[in-house]
């Protein structure tokens, strides 16, 4: 159904349907029907089914109805920048499409991917443009590394529209969202740097359904190897050489602290040249890889996109030969400054370049590297040609004036880290594509190339890619970490809100640098952050060069003992976490969820932003305040306000729904098990290669509890051919005895356990 308005710049607004739950809206100029967004998606839509949908134009508004009730209405359609627009840091071509949506005054907004700031996203403005904020970011700093133009409106119960509505702006172009209501009360404005705009409106009866459908569109999260869920250790500048790498791992093993992965940051390269090893410090990389594998530790190496310009350097030479690099608006290839100095950037837009990137990755994977860490892929460029020439002329001018000072130099040195101006791409047909159209897709396309490397090295193995930048759909290829945070309590708390919103944005596997990246961590913060990290999908300790060492043992006891205990806990609940990971791969649903996602009938739960659920059984209330030895906890109510019993994980004490102040000495992060729940567990192994022979069932049992359990070989793609175990655990207490059973749904793999033990007793800290 198409609407037009001759007075208003001849716009056309066309509604079509993807299915009975998703409508597509295209806004464009007469005669300029938009094509599907580049690379992203093919959205096959058809005429609206008038049994389900209806659309109307009244008083300058266009509204869409589903089963006779209004979904949402739009106004203010224009092909210019809106008044509320905030000038971005980058120059964009002057082509804009703007739309306002009327939203319920009481609506809450969630999603928007990787945004710092509060869990609820209204009263703020968001930009979608992948950048390196440089150094570290602050509360509400925007934009950041990842762009996901998707959000969910949750309306009050008495609102005329649906309770949940997902809105996905399909354009990967730069966009800005006004959730501050600058465009008018209860108007959520959206403007995009394009001649047309395509969005999908996703309906559903629950947040779960909305996220599932959003990932039906943009892709399901990849199934990672099991070691991805283990404890990962990383530090920029460490290990500095081969011996230190082995030594570090031996310290973990010697202290009995579980470890699954060790990261090698840029210091492992020769002069920061990607896919190389420093000759003196890492002379025998394949020996090192072998040694790490013998100790069941998976090496992950960092790879930035910038390729150093240096004849004789294999990666550069072969890139030149195949003409893989991004072009420059002027002539030749774009040249920018990155870690290795003047560099060129692969043009991942092209299929053959992604293939070439895959080959480079395959070589390093062949050597024994297990995972690839894609950093700087917004892409970050320290200094582009334009800025460089500016700098030179500024220096000349000042010099001619004869008064160039040290301060001047400092000012000149304050250059941007996102100097992508001038980049120009080519598609597979050789057509030029302005950088602005593909900027937000750069990391996603890079990941596509990286995956090819894994596939050619070993088609059977599941890839592990950790990426800093991304766009909607990155969940298909990679895990995300939330970039450069700081070793502060504020950042630890903020990470919860970021990770929860990432999960609501179709990206279930993410994590923050545990302990904080920038600055010196204090022992108490490191301890509290490891407690929190143990419950997050990605559990990686990472910090910057020149900051205090933040290994689990860095501050001795009691910190080491406590951190160790929580890393062990991580391994104990691995069967639970791995099951959640598998389910998130199948459905797109998050692993860690805001309280209200599990308890939407409980209004109070929407105000809770410092607790979260892991799956549907565990409520985690991390301590995010320095010096706190107790904390206030909200335990939500069930359907129809039903009071639930929540069991304290550590003491076995039962508390009812409502607010409580619970004790949280340094060794306790409050965790509660939901009434009638069972958490499948195993022994606290030292890494995911080790097995436990017992399946423990930790229960909070009134009468009966159920949980699913998934297990497979943890490494291969055999699960795609049915080589996995999936079943329903049931524990029942009829007042006399407790019985357990597992009803298998799939038995294509023999799971780890020989025996099953019910744990109802207190575990103790
Ligand atoms: O310009 O590789 O976010 O995790 O340790 C800094 C060094 C480059 C930024 C990443 C960080 C990594 C660091 N990198």
Coil vs helix vs strand at 343: strand
Instruction: List, for residues 587-603, the tens digit of each pLDDT value.
Output: 999 999 999 999 999 99
**Contact call for residues 485 and 136 (beta carbons, < 8 A):** yes
Coil vs helix vs strand at 433: strand
Round to whole Å and give the CA distance between 659 and 314: 62
Which run of H or of E encompasses 395? helix 385-401
Round to whole Å and give the CA distance between 681 and 696: 5
In the reported structure, the alpha carbon of residue 236 is separated from the centroid of ligand 1 by a whole-number distance in angstroms of 7
Burial 329-358 (b: 16+ CB within 10 A, else e): eeeebbbbbbbbeebbbbbbbbeebbbbbb
Round to whole Å and give the CA distance between 44 and 229: 36
Q: Which residues pair with 471 in a beta bridge?
A: 147
In the reported structure, the alpha carbon of residue 543 is separated from the centroid of ligand 1 by a whole-number distance in angstroms of 9
Round to whole Å and give the CA distance between 483 and 338: 17
**Ligand 1 atom at minimum distance from 417 CA:** 1
**pLDDT for res 44:** 87
**Contact call for residues 343 and 335 (beta carbons, < 8 A):** yes
- Model pTM? 0.96
Round to whole Å and give the CA distance between 284 and 264: 14
Q: Which residues contact 225 (CB under 8 A, 6 or more apart)?
A: 370, 461, 462, 464, 714, 715
Q: Which residues line ligand 1 (CB under 6 A)?
A: 236, 265-266, 302, 375, 468, 483-484, 542
Instruction: Give yes or no for residue 630 having a pLDDT over 70.
Output: yes
Give the residue among 163, 161, 141, 143 at the shortest CA–CA distance from 152.
163
Q: Which residues pair with 333 in a beta bridge?
A: 327
**pLDDT for res 764:** 39
In the reported structure, the alpha carbon of residue 483 is separated from the centroid of ligand 1 by a whole-number distance in angstroms of 8
In the reported structure, the alpha carbon of residue 445 is separated from the centroid of ligand 1 by a whole-number distance in angstroms of 20
**pLDDT for res 43:** 85
Instruction: Give yes or no for residue 7 having a pLDDT over 90.
Output: no
Round to whole Å and give the CA distance between 320 and 303: 19
Instruction: Give yes or no for residue 410 having a pLDDT over 80.
Output: no
Q: What is the 3-state secondary structure (H, E, C) of 505-561?
A: CCCCCEECEECCCECCCCHHHHHHHHHHHCCCCCEEECCCCCCCCCCCCCCCCCHHH
Q: Lowest-confidence range among 379-388, 441-450, 540-549?
A: 379-388
Which run of H or of E encompasses 358? helix 351-366
If one compares 629 and 33, the residue with the highest pLDDT of the two is 629
Instruction: List, for residues 496-528, the tens digit of each pLDDT value.
Output: 999 999 999 999 999 999 999 999 999 999 999
Round to whole Å and give the CA distance between 471 and 752: 37
**pLDDT for res 605:** 96
Instruction: Give yes or no for residue 59 having a pLDDT over 90.
Output: no
Q: Which whole-number Å values give the CA distances from 419 to 87, 198, 385, 416, 528, in the listed order?
A: 17, 28, 8, 6, 37
Over residues 181-190, the mean pLDDT reads 90
**pLDDT for res 32:** 78
Confidence of residue 10 (pLDDT cuts 50, 70, 90): confident
Determine the length of the chain.
765
Q: Which residues pair with 171 in a beta bridge?
A: none
In the reported structure, the alpha carbon of residue 484 is separated from the centroid of ligand 1 by a whole-number distance in angstroms of 7
Coil vs helix vs strand at 616: coil
Q: Which residues pair with 425 in a beta bridge?
A: 433
Instruction: Give yes or no for residue 37 having a pLDDT over 60.
Output: no
Judge whether 378 counts as a catalytic residue.
yes
CA atoms within 13 A on the CB side of 504: 36
Round to whole Å and give the CA distance between 273 and 309: 9
Judge whether 104 counts as a catalytic residue.
no
Residue with CA nearest ligand 1 atom 5 = 236
26, 173, 260, 378: the catalytic one is: 378
**Contact call for residues 300 and 261 (beta carbons, < 8 A):** yes
**pLDDT for res 396:** 79
260, 333, 375, 611: the catalytic one is: 375
CA 363 to chain centre: 27
Round to whole Å and give the CA distance between 501 and 593: 9
**Contact call for residues 474 and 444 (beta carbons, < 8 A):** yes
Instruction: List, for residues 636-685, the tens digit of each pLDDT value.
Output: 999 999 999 999 999 999 999 999 999 999 999 999 999 999 999 999 99
Please state, rounded to an integer, the average pLDDT across all residues of the chain: 94
Coil vs helix vs strand at 351: helix
**pLDDT for res 30:** 82
Q: Lowest-confidence range among 31-45, 233-247, 563-577, 621-635?
A: 31-45
Coil vs helix vs strand at 642: coil
484, 513, 611, 712: the catalytic one is: 484
Judge whether 205 counts as a catalytic residue.
no
Give the residue among 326, 320, 324 at the shortest CA–CA distance from 433.
326
**pLDDT for res 330:** 87
Residue with CA nearest ligand 1 atom 12 = 236
Substitution candidate for ligand 1 out of 484, 515, 543, 547 with most atoms within 8 A of CB: 484
**pLDDT for res 266:** 98
Q: What are the two backbone dihedrals, phi and then psi, of residue 756, each rounded to the nearest 5 degrees? A: -125, 130
* Residue-wise DSSP of 226-273: GGGGSEEE-BTTBS-SHHHHHHHHHHHHHHT----EEEE-GGGSSTT-
The count of other CB atoms within 10 Å of the CB of residue 177 is: 23
Place of tokens 């319920």: 104
Over residues 393-403, the mean pLDDT reads 76
Round to whole Å and give the CA distance between 197 and 97: 6
Instruction: List, for residues 127-153, the tens digit of each pLDDT value.
Output: 999 999 988 999 999 999 999 999 999
Instruction: Give yes or no for residue 762 having a pLDDT over 50.
Output: no
**pLDDT for res 413:** 64
Round to whole Å and give the CA distance between 176 and 124: 11
Round to whole Å and give the CA distance between 531 and 624: 10
If one compares 181 and 191, the residue with the highest pLDDT of the two is 191
Q: Which whole-number Å values give the CA distances from 385 to 333, 415, 714, in the listed order?
A: 11, 12, 46
Confidence of residue 36 (pLDDT cuts 50, 70, 90): low
Burial 744-754 (b: 16+ CB within 10 A, else e): eeeeebebbbe
Q: Which whole-number Å values give the CA distances from 616 to 335, 675, 706, in the listed order?
A: 50, 11, 11
**Contact call for residues 172 and 193 (beta carbons, < 8 A):** no
* Residue-wise DSSP of 22-39: EEEEEEEETT-PPPPPTT
* Residue-wise DSSP of 88-110: -SS---S--EEEEEE--TT-EEE
């Amino acid at each position: 159904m198409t609407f037009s308005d001759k007075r208003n710049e001849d716009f056309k607004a066309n509604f079509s349907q993807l299915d009975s739950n998703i409508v597509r809206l295209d806004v464009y100029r007469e005669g300029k029907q938009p094509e599907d967004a580049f690379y992203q998606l093919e959205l096959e839509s058809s005429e609206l089914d008038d049994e389900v949908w209806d659309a109307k134009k009244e008083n300058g508004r266009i509204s869409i109805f589903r089963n006779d009730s209004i979904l949402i209405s739009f106004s203010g359609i224009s092909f210019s920048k809106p008044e509320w627009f905030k000038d971005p840091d980058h120059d964009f071509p002057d082509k804009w499409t703007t739309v306002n949506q009327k939203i319920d005054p009481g609506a809450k907004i969630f999603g928007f991917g990787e945004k710092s700031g509060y869990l609820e996203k209204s009263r703020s403005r968001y930009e979608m443009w992948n950048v390196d904020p440089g150094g570290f970011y602050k509360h509400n700093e925007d934009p950041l590394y990842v762009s996901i133009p998707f959000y969910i409106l949750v309306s009050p119960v008495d609102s005329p529209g649906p309770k949940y509505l997902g809105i996905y702006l399909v354009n990967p172009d730069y966009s800005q969202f006004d959730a501050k209501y600058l465009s008018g009360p209860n108007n959520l404005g959206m403007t995009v740097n394009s001649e047309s705009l395509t969005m999908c409106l996703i309906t559903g009866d629950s947040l779960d359904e909305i996220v599932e459908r959003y990932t039906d569109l943009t892709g399901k999260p990849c199934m990672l190897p099991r070691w991805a869920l283990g404890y990962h250790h990383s530090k920029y500048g460490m290990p500095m050489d081969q011996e230190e790498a082995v030594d570090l791992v031996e310290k973990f093993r010697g202290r009995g602290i579980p470890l699954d992965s060790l990261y090698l940051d840029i210091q492992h390269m020769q002069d920061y040249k990607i896919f190389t090893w420093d000759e003196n410090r890492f002379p025998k990389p394949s020996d090192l890889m072998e040694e790490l594998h013998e100790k069941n530790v998976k090496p992950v190496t960092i790879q930035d996109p910038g390729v150093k310009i240096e004849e004789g350097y294999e990666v550069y030479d072969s890139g030149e030969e195949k003409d893989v690099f991004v072009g420059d608006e002027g002539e030749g290839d774009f040249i920018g400054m990155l870690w290795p100095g003047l560099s060129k950037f692969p043009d991942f837009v092209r299929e053959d370049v992604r293939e070439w990137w895959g080959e480079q990755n395959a070589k390093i994977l062949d050597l024994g590297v297990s995972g690839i860490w894609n950093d700087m892929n917004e892409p970050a460029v320290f200094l582009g040609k334009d800025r460089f020439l500016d700098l030179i002329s500024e220096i000349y001018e000042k010099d001619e004036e004869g008064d160039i000072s040290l301060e001047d130099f400092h000012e000149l040195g304050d250059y941007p880290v996102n100097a992508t101006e001038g980049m120009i791409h080519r598609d597979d047909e050789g057509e030029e594509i302005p950088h602005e159209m593909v900027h937000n897709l750069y990391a996603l396309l890079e990941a596509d190339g990286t995956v090819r490397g894994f596939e050619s090295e070993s088609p059977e193995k599941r890839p592990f890619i950790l990426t800093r930048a991304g766009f909607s759909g990155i969940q298909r290829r990679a895990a995300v970490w939330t970039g450069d945070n700081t070793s502060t309590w504020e950042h630890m708390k903020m990470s919860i809100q970021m990770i929860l919103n990432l999960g609501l944005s179709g990206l279930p596997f993410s994590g923050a640098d545990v302990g904080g990246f920038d600055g010196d961590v204090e022992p108490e913060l490191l301890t509290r952050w490891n407690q929190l990290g143990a419950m997050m999908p990605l559990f990686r300790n990472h910090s910057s060069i020149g900051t205090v060492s933040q290994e689990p043992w860095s501050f001795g006891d009691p910190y080491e003992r406590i951190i160790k205990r929580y890393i062990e806990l991580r391994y104990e609940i691995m069967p639970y976490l791995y099951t959640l990971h598998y389910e998130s791969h199948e459905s797109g649903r998050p692993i860690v969820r805001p309280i209200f996602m599990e308890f939407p009938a409980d209004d109070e739960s929407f105000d809770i932003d410092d607790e979260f659920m892991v799956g549907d059984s565990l409520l985690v209330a991390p301590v995010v305040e320095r010096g706190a030895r107790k904390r206030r906890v909200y335990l939500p109510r069930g359907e129809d306000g039903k009071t639930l019993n929540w069991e304290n994980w550590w003491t076995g004490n039962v508390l009812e729904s409502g607010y409580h102040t619970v004790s949280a000495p340094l060794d306790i992060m409050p965790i509660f098990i939901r009434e009638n729940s069972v958490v499948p567990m195993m022994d606290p192994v030292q890494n995911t290669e080790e097995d436990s022979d017992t399946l423990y069932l930790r229960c909070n049992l009134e009468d009966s509890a159920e949980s699913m359990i998934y297990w497979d070989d943890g490494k291969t793609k055999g699960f795609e051919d049915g080589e996995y175990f999936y079943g329903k655990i049931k524990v029942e207490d009829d007042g006399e005895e407790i019985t357990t059973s597992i009803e298998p749904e799939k038995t294509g793999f023999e799971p780890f356990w020989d025996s099953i033990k019910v744990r109802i007793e207190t575990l103790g800290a």
